[in-house]
Chains A and B, each alone.
Chain A
Amino acid sequence: MSDKETYKGYKGAALAAMKKFGIRVWSDAVLTTEEDSFEGIVLPRSETADGDHIVIKMATGYNVGLRCDRILDAKEIGYKEAHYKIPEKAFPYDPKKERVVLFGTGGTIASRLDYRTGAVIPAFTPGELYGSVPELADICNLETEKLFGVFSENMGPEQYIILAERIGEEIRKGVRGIVVGHGTDTMHHTAAALSYMVQDSPVPIVMVGSQRSSDRPSSDAALNLIHSVKTAADCDIAEVMVCMFGPTSDEYGLLHRGTRVRKMHSSYRSTFRTIGDIPLAMVNREGYTYLRDDYKKRRNDREVKVSAVFDDRIGILYYYPNMKADMMDMMIDNGYKGIIIAGTGLGHVNKPLYPALQRAKDAGVAVYMTVQTLWGYVQMYVYETGREMMDLGVIPLENMLPEAAYIKLGWALGQTDDLEKLREIMLTPINGETTPREPYNGYLIFQGGIPEVDEFVGTIRR
């Protein structure tokens, strides 16, 4: 075994002490200090932790760290290497059930503990995953394929393309539905990408993750998985969707349209919300409550349009008061081909940026406007500022979310450099990324503290 494995994560004085006393990671050891002795299993050490302490797991199950300069002697009295593994059960095949494919990409829904970093890392194979959620077998015949093992923030165009193509292949083979396990941080980016890249799917494509990792009893992973696999197997909506907790309670999941969904809280279970519209449906173990009927219905054919292209020379410019033109100049100078501005209010930036907008126009850089308020439309004709900016070539993107716009611009630029064609692609909705009208209940952010709201929250389990 290599030193790296033998002394996982240890460095400096601690590593020297281990070598001196002949103990290693997973040793069952007795460490003697001046006043006492500690017995336990030497655990791997987080790589970001200092090099002064040795960590042991005592018989009580507790871990403690001892400063190595206090250790006078250490003896290995046994060796017990841990294998952190969910019992992997063969998924029972039932000829009466439909076939669903689960693609793993990494992220919290498929994760386990890492001793070296002390963090949660993507490592469960989807196979192990359903070993821990046996209920899945009641729903369908599940097949899994691990495409990547990356954190949500490392998902990018390369992964979008592979994922879109693999989904296309499965659909042509006649799969009943697709589930994509994904980290939650950028799930809405990938959901938008798949919405553009995989069009007119005959079956549901359901993205799912979890906000509490599956290594904890209160995890939302199991219920999210059950909801999403069920949706893939028998829901009538054949769209790219995100399936995550509706309330923080273990009550039901929501099916959000892939282009209109956004992560809205850094840690809440019910973090995903449909913005500027209402979700497609509610789902629980028993079935669905469809909230609208303008969705694309499930079909029995195997036809699907896959257009997996992406040009990543694009960026989002989040405008703030007093922004200097050089922020945009940098993008132009570095060869960016498209810029999404998240403007204030109805879609504004300040005048000092105008020269940069002019430069972008002259350089043939496509500039589109979205709103950082997230809810509401870009309406640049209302104020003079807006009209001036349109003259400088800025194109308003209606109520497209900044992230959905960013992904769409990359996808559109992957197809054409012609600014006119680009404009047509950008302004023609694929699946709800812009909507002609905003329903009155598309913007409901209840303000806590108001008596009537508190009364509602007190009666309805959120």
Chain B
Amino acid sequence: MYEFEFKPFEEMTPEDYATVGFMSGLEVHQQLLTKSKLFCRCPAGRYSHEYHAEILRHMRPTLSELGEYDGTALMEFKTKKNIVYRVNKETVCTYEMDDTPPFMMDDEALDTALEISMLAGLTLVDEVHIARKQYLDGSIPTGFQRTAICGIHGSVPYGDRKISMIQLGIEEDSCREISDVGHLRIYNTDRLGMPLIELVTGPDMRTPKEVAEVAQILRKMMRTTGRVRRGIGATRADTNVSVTGGTRIEIKGVPKIGMMPLLTYNEAQRQWNLLRLREELKRRGITEETFSSSSVDITRILKRSRFTPIADAMKQGHVAAAVKLSGWAELLRWQTQDNTVFSREISDRVRVIACLSVLPNIIHSDSMSETLSGAEWKETKVALGCTPDDTIVIVWGAAGDVDTAVKEIVIRAKEATVGIPSETRQALRDGTTGFERILPGPQRMYPDTDLPPIRVVPERLARLRERMPVQYWDRMRRYHEWKVPEDAIEGLALSPLSTLFDEAVTEMGFGVTDAAVILWRYPRRLHRDGIRTEVLPVDGLRSILNAVREGKMTKDGVFSAMRRALKHGFDVEALPPRLERKDLASFIEKAKQQVRYAKLHDEKNIPNLTLDRVMDEVRGRIPGADVAAEVAAHFAKEVLK
């Protein structure tokens, strides 16, 4: 059944993906727009690489609530990392550093999480229970992430199908990794503790393109609340991929939706090719039961090696070891992803688990590149008792790390006889994935004893339902019907001002185009002018629209009123009274006085300049056409005189 061979990315058809049984689901992480972090009073959303202190910690695995150690937990403990946190005094307090228990969950954040749960059609829970999800990589100083489920079992329309939503969780964001070399991992803590939601879909996407499209839909849906953060890193997604006979593999932290198709393609390809490798091994008679390997210390053989990485290691008094994989000849060159072969699977494990992070960290006898001398290979082969059917993997480094590496090489090779190991993988820039860690199971969850459960009372939900936006896809359909200008449709439907737009059109009597200009074009113009429009005051804008409707100001005064309102707020009472044409005479006289002192190229410009000056004074108090007519009439009279 594994005859199918992956074609280049561009040539793969939906039928090809159906052949390999491509399945993919998403875990979309979205930061929420709140003033404070989720469990402390630190300001949210302030990022800086500046730091004022460093704290060193280690992580040890603990038992879950149901009494079992988790696989990832044990792996991370094997790596024995020194973890250093960089602390900026403006963005981090003693809570993030795990020296103070949590404060109650931020209400603003929970409101938004519940609101988005409702948008995703989820059944809400009645009591939010905060759990601790273990992370022994150190990305959170407590060693766990505080996280809680708000709702389960929903769906979102996609074409003529529905994509199922498994759950929505609210959680604190983790640290940003600065570096991870050998036994030292350094984290920046500015992002730590930021409120985040995680929306998890079912494995319903059938092609890489669908993955990206659904990710876009979810991102946009969350945006319509106006209560989520935007910008780099504010929305991240983990992507789960599997093929027939494969394993659910999680690709962590894909920063751009545009990368998803290639990443999921490569991951599907990797799984498929690993299954094909298993078939090849089986053909050679290598199964989990018959798998055989041996290892030997070859420090003595390589003592005077000229291969630079090993020569450097020897200078530092390090050791080298060789592992024989019986019957594996040529298989370390087995293609897994684009431009990637099986030896990378081994190298990745050695890097992460044995902390041998300087590459290359292994060499092997299937490789064509120049490494050891012929004599060194020969001696190693003799030491291991190799036949031409076998493959040799060589690793070097500090003695303890090499011990771990040898074990890990054997573990990874043996796993190939079984299938695809459960793990999380990193998204790499070239569109391939690399090993990150063993996939953690539900065993890593246990209740947070520091915080009581939070009741979600019906009154709260009623209030949130009230403010919940209409689904943007419904809105877009309506805007098409209303003939909203084409370029404004999606932007308006996603804008937090869309509810006000609907209100302006259906209740306040504004024309569709006028409303679109005021609530779509104007905010964009303000934004281009460098005015912060992220948090446009909806109530202020509503009172501007009302003032226009009630005739207290004219349409052409709206833009400047908005600009003022963003800086000083909007006060209907402070609006100057409306003007009639007859009131304009004094303004015209004043303007003419000013223009008289201006240096002019051409006297003919006087009427236009006068009109500009008058408009500056009276904009919004009388329609511009009336002013133009009055000014024109004034100059016409003057000529007659």
**Does A251 reach chain B (CB closer than 8 Å)?**
yes
B605 to chain A minimum Cβ distance, whole angstroms, is 60
The answer to whether B153 and A36 have CB atoms under 8 Å apart is yes
Q: How far is the CA of A80 from the CA of B261 in the complex (A)?
A: 41
**Does A172 reach chain B (CB closer than 8 Å)?**
no
**Does A16 reach chain B (CB closer than 8 Å)?**
no
- Contacts of A65 on B, CB cut-off 8 Å? 125-129, 453, 455
**Does A430 reach chain B (CB closer than 8 Å)?**
no
Q: How far is the CA of A36 from the CA of B117 in the complex (A)?
A: 15
The answer to whether B152 and A36 have CB atoms under 8 Å apart is yes
- Contacts of B169 on A, CB cut-off 8 Å? 62
Give A193-232 as 1s and 0s: 1 = Cβ < 8 Å from B's Cβ atoms: 0000000000000000001111111110011000000000
Choose among A33, A38, A458 the residue that contacts B52 (Cβ–Cβ < 8 A).
A458
Choose among B89, B101, B131 the residue that contacts A61 (Cβ–Cβ < 8 A).
B131
Known: A57-B65, A64-B125, A120-B449. A212 touches B131 (CB 8 A): no
A151 to chain B minimum Cβ distance, whole angstroms, is 14
Q: How far is the CA of A115 from the CA of B446 in the complex (A)?
A: 11
- Contacts of A250 on B, CB cut-off 8 Å? 56-58
The answer to whether A60 and B167 have CB atoms under 8 Å apart is yes
Give A255-291 as 1s and 0s: 1 = Cβ < 8 Å from B's Cβ atoms: 0000000000101110000000000000000000000
Which of A83-91, A294-302, A337-345, A378-386 sits within the interface? A83-91
Q: How far is the CA of A67 from the CA of B457 in the complex (A)?
A: 10
The answer to whether A58 and B152 have CB atoms under 8 Å apart is yes
By beta carbon, the residue of chain A nearest B130 is A63
Give A424-458 as 1s and 0s: 1 = Cβ < 8 Å from B's Cβ atoms: 00000000000000000000000000000010011
By beta carbon, the residue of chain A nearest B451 is A118
Q: Which of B136-166 contact A (CB under 8 A)?
A: 136, 141-144, 147-149, 152-153, 166
A211 to chain B minimum Cβ distance, whole angstroms, is 8
The answer to whether B127 and A64 have CB atoms under 8 Å apart is yes
Query: Interface on chain A toward B: helix, strand, loop, or mixed SS?
Result: loop
Q: How far is the CA of A462 from the CA of B84 in the complex (A)?
A: 12
Q: How far is the CA of A50 from the CA of B126 in the complex (A)?
A: 12
**Does B132 reach chain A (CB closer than 8 Å)?**
yes
B611 to chain A minimum Cβ distance, whole angstroms, is 59
Q: How far is the CA of A394 from the CA of B133 in the complex (A)?
A: 56
- Contacts of A66 on B, CB cut-off 8 Å? 125-127
A18 to chain B minimum Cβ distance, whole angstroms, is 16
Q: How far is the CA of A248 from the CA of B54 in the complex (A)?
A: 10
Known: A55-B129, A458-B52. A84 touches B61 (CB 8 A): no
By beta carbon, the residue of chain A nearest B154 is A36
The answer to whether A63 and B131 have CB atoms under 8 Å apart is yes
- Contacts of A1 on B, CB cut-off 8 Å? none
Q: How far is the CA of A84 from the CA of B143 in the complex (A)?
A: 19
Choose among A53, A58, A267 the residue that contacts B127 (Cβ–Cβ < 8 A).
A53
The answer to whether B142 and A216 have CB atoms under 8 Å apart is yes
The answer to whether A248 and B65 have CB atoms under 8 Å apart is no
Q: Which of B450-466 contact A (CB under 8 A)?
A: 452-453, 455
Q: How far is the CA of A336 from the CA of B149 in the complex (A)?
A: 54
- Contacts of B126 on A, CB cut-off 8 Å? 53, 65-67, 70
The answer to whether B442 and A84 have CB atoms under 8 Å apart is no
Give B43-79 as 1s and 0s: 1 = Cβ < 8 Å from A's Cβ atoms: 0000000011111111111111111000001000000
Q: Which of A75-95 contact B (CB under 8 A)?
A: 80, 82-86
The answer to whether B152 and A248 have CB atoms under 8 Å apart is no
By beta carbon, the residue of chain B nearest A457 is B53
Which of B10-18, B91-99, B241-249, B488-496 sits within the interface? B91-99
**Does A49 reach chain B (CB closer than 8 Å)?**
yes
The answer to whether A462 and B136 have CB atoms under 8 Å apart is no
Choose among A59, A64, A67, A248 the residue that contacts B99 (Cβ–Cβ < 8 A).
A248
A17 to chain B minimum Cβ distance, whole angstroms, is 13
The answer to whether B129 and A458 have CB atoms under 8 Å apart is no
The answer to whether A85 and B152 have CB atoms under 8 Å apart is no
| Interface size class of chain B, counting residues whose CB lies under 8 Å from the partner chain | 35 or more
By beta carbon, the residue of chain B nearest A33 is B123
Choose among B57, B63, B455 the residue that contacts A215 (Cβ–Cβ < 8 A).
B63
The answer to whether A267 and B94 have CB atoms under 8 Å apart is yes
The answer to whether A219 and B94 have CB atoms under 8 Å apart is no
Known: A66-B127, A67-B126. A218 touches B98 (CB 8 A): yes
Q: How far is the CA of A249 from the CA of B53 in the complex (A)?
A: 11
Give A19-36 as 1s and 0s: 1 = Cβ < 8 Å from B's Cβ atoms: 000000000000001011
Give A160-189 as 1s and 0s: 1 = Cβ < 8 Å from B's Cβ atoms: 000000000000000000000000000000
- Contacts of B65 on A, CB cut-off 8 Å? 57, 82, 84, 113
Choose among B54, B62, B84, B452 the residue that contacts A216 (Cβ–Cβ < 8 A).
B62
Q: Which of A225-259 contact B (CB under 8 A)?
A: 248-251
Known: A64-B129, A267-B101. A217 touches B67 (CB 8 A): no
The answer to whether B67 and A458 have CB atoms under 8 Å apart is no
**Does B305 reach chain A (CB closer than 8 Å)?**
no
**Does B340 reach chain A (CB closer than 8 Å)?**
no
Choose among A36, A67, A217, A269 the residue that contacts B60 (Cβ–Cβ < 8 A).
A217
**Does A119 reach chain B (CB closer than 8 Å)?**
yes
Known: A55-B127, A216-B142. A267 touches B445 (CB 8 A): no
A365 to chain B minimum Cβ distance, whole angstroms, is 40
- Contacts of B57 on A, CB cut-off 8 Å? 218, 249-250
Choose among A48, A62, A267, A462 the residue that contacts B149 (Cβ–Cβ < 8 A).
A62
- Contacts of A64 on B, CB cut-off 8 Å? 125, 127-129, 149, 152
- Contacts of B97 on A, CB cut-off 8 Å? 248
The answer to whether B53 and A458 have CB atoms under 8 Å apart is yes
The answer to whether A61 and B53 have CB atoms under 8 Å apart is no
The answer to whether A219 and B60 have CB atoms under 8 Å apart is yes
B124 to chain A minimum Cβ distance, whole angstroms, is 10
The answer to whether A113 and B152 have CB atoms under 8 Å apart is no
Q: How far is the CA of A303 from the CA of B410 in the complex (A)?
A: 57
**Does A4 reach chain B (CB closer than 8 Å)?**
no
- Contacts of B546 on A, CB cut-off 8 Å? none
Q: How far is the CA of A427 from the CA of B231 in the complex (A)?
A: 67
Choose among A55, A82, A113, A212 the residue that contacts B98 (Cβ–Cβ < 8 A).
A212
* 7 A-B pairs with least C-beta separation: A65-B127, A217-B143, A61-B445, A61-B442, A36-B123, A63-B129, A67-B126
What are 25 contact pairs spanning A and B, CB under 8 A? Answer: A53-B126, A53-B127, A55-B127, A57-B66, A60-B166, A60-B442, A61-B441, A62-B129, A62-B131, A63-B149, A64-B152, A65-B129, A67-B126, A82-B65, A113-B65, A120-B449, A213-B449, A216-B132, A217-B73, A222-B60, A249-B54, A249-B55, A268-B99, A268-B100, A454-B89
Interface residues of B (CB under 8 A from A): 51-67, 73, 84, 89, 94, 97-101, 123, 125-129, 131-136, 141-144, 147-149, 152-153, 166-167, 169, 441-447, 449, 452-453, 455
Given contacts A61-B441, A218-B141, 19 further A-B contacts (CB under 8 A): A36-B152, A53-B453, A57-B65, A61-B133, A61-B443, A62-B445, A64-B128, A70-B126, A84-B63, A113-B446, A120-B449, A211-B99, A216-B62, A216-B132, A216-B144, A217-B134, A218-B98, A250-B57, A454-B89
